[in-house]
Amino acid sequence: MNPLLSRRHFIKASAFAAAALPFVPSLSRAVEPKRQIGFALCGLGNLSTHQLAPALQNTKFCKLTGIISGTPEKAKRWQAQYNIPDRNVYNYDTMAKLADNPDIDVVYVVTPNGLHADHTIAAAKAGKHVLCEKPMEVSAERCQQMIDACKAAGKQLAIGYRLHFEPNKLECVRLVREKVLGNLKFIEAGFGFAIGDPKQWRLKKELSGGGPMMDVGIYALQAMRYLSGEEPVSVSAIATTNDTVKFRDIEESLTWQMKFPSGILANGNTTYGFSGINRFSANTERGWLSLNPAYSYHGLKGARSDGQTIQMPDIDQFAAEMDDFAQCILENRPTRVPGEEGLRDMKIITAIYESARTGKVVNLA
Ligand code: NAD
């Protein structure tokens, strides 16, 4: 395909979608930043090490100025690698001191799910904006506390839903919303992988809040919500566990169904038991479209029933997400992935778990 044509098509599609749809971002503006927004990463684990710190080097509106870590040796290594001065290094107990540090505008919370509220609230109280990883927390109550703390501090709270900035996902949303293949009828979506280390926090409910539904099923749930543009009115779910030693605290696999107000039905699945599910498809009156892989960091691609392929430019999703948040702060405009969006997912996931536990349909309306 002619890369220029594809780029033009992307710009046109995105510009249209940005004007019309709440989920769709505008293209990164060709303006020079007034200043770069200082980011401190809170929790220097896998995502921070292998994705966020490298992505920060690819941003236009952000810079990595600080770190918050419980491990002093790790902090030292990061300081050397990213040239971070001693005055910008914190641990989880010294976050109140962030209040005195003008180098740091945003705290990016990248700790286990069940610690997100503690770290978000500490950052907000220190007068910082917060970008918090998904899932937002482990309960709707804790999500609400995070929203309240950021509101009280007059600071923005965004959730790390990186796919809201991904061109292939945006193209699918455009195709569905413009009814290019007719009205949407069914959505099928699933994301799962074989989890490794049996000692990790993802397998401990207190820190994770749940199993694959919380961790990666949430991407499929998001796909259902952004494709339909609606909120579900009812859910039902079934969970199963084969390895009862490894998965004694959480579900191993889960499937769920949802009904939307217009009558659209959705069918989802997620697992920690095996790899290979990373897709969504949308069936419409006159055909279908699908993405597979649908949620990876790179290489998303898809197909349509009319024979066309879906293959938009492959971007650094994390850099796009952080640059967008920085622009929201610089321009004093709201993020398209606010805390309320994380809270909506948490309420639905809570209902999914309730249905899996009780065997009953749970109404959400
Ligand atoms: P990780 O285990 O690799 O890192 C977690 C970090 O938190 C570690 O540095 C660890 O030392 C620290 N930590 C602080 N207190 C801890 C405690 N009590 N127990 C365990 N660790 C503690 O995890 P990760 O894969 O980097 O995930 C972190 C967050 O990022 C999670 O919320 C996860 O859902 C999210 N995540 C998002 C994406 C995405 O694509 N957006 C991808 C991976 C992870």
Q: Is 115 exposed, middle or buried (0-12, 13-18, 19+ CB in 10 A)?
A: middle
Q: What atom in ligand 1 is closest to the CA of residue 200? A: 2
Cβ–Cβ under 8 Å, residues 139 and 354: no
Residue among 49, 93, 110 to mutate when testing ligand 1 (max atoms within 8 A of CB): 110
Tokens of 58: 């690819």
Residue with tokens 């099928």: 188
What Å distances lie between residue 224 and 112, 121, 130, 165, 191, CA to CA? Answer: 25, 30, 26, 16, 12
Cβ(115) – ligand 1 distance below 6 Å: yes
Task: pLDDT tens for the chain, 365 residues: list them.
Answer: 333 333 333 333 333 333 333 333 444 445 677 799 999 999 999 999 999 999 999 999 999 999 999 999 999 999 999 999 999 999 999 999 999 999 999 999 999 999 999 999 999 999 999 999 999 999 999 999 999 999 999 999 999 999 999 999 999 999 999 999 999 999 999 999 999 999 999 999 999 999 999 999 999 999 999 999 999 999 999 999 999 999 999 999 999 999 999 999 999 999 999 999 999 999 999 999 999 999 999 999 999 999 999 999 999 999 999 999 999 999 999 999 999 999 999 999 999 999 999 999 999 97
Gap from CA of 14 to ligand 1 centroid (Å): 32
Confirm or reject: Cβ of 70 under 6 Å from ligand 1. Answer: yes
134 is catalytic: yes
Cα-to-centroid distance, 65 and ligand 1 (Å): 20
192 Cβ inside 6 Å of ligand 1: no
Ligand 1, atom 13, residue with closest C-alpha: 111
Q: Is 251 in the pocket of ligand 1 (CB under 6 A)?
A: no
Distance between start and end Cα atoms, the chain: 45
Helix (H, G, I), strand (E, B) or coil at 47: helix
CA–CA dist 35, 56 (Å, integer): 15
Q: Is the CB of 113 under 6 A from ligand 1?
A: yes
What residue has token string 């009904």? Answer: 259
3-state SS string over 261-295?
A: CCCCEEEEEEECCCCCEEEEEEEECCEEEEECCCC
